[in-house]
Amino acid sequence: MASLITCPHCGARPKEEFTIRGSASAVRPTPSAPDEDWHRHVYIRDNERGRILEHWHHAAGCRRWLIVDRSNVTHEVFSVTDAADKAREAAQ
């Protein structure tokens, strides 16, 4: 049985409909940050084990960007949130 991701717009869908962009926890340096900070942000990442937040794109469905809270050890999905909603929430 395929792993399922519950899209907030389309419901439970097979993970093959999605593409992963990467960590949703990475903090982007300011535009005036030193080159070393940008180098670390772009090229040097910790490979954390356990529960992580990731950007996923529902490429074969609603085409929305989502924030998926999942374990990269067990692949269990804890929650899925629309990335636009998460951004609005963070801006408040």
Which domains, ranges and CATH numbers included, belong to the chain? 4-91 (3.30.2270.10)
pLDDT of the residue at 91: 84
pLDDT of the residue at 92: 82
- What b/e string do you get for 27-38 counting C-beta neighbours within 10 Å, with b at 16 or more? eebeeeeeeeee
With a cut of 70, which residues of the chain have pLDDT below it? 1-2
Question: What is the SS3 assignment for 58?
Answer: coil
pLDDT of the residue at 1: 45
pLDDT of the residue at 46: 81
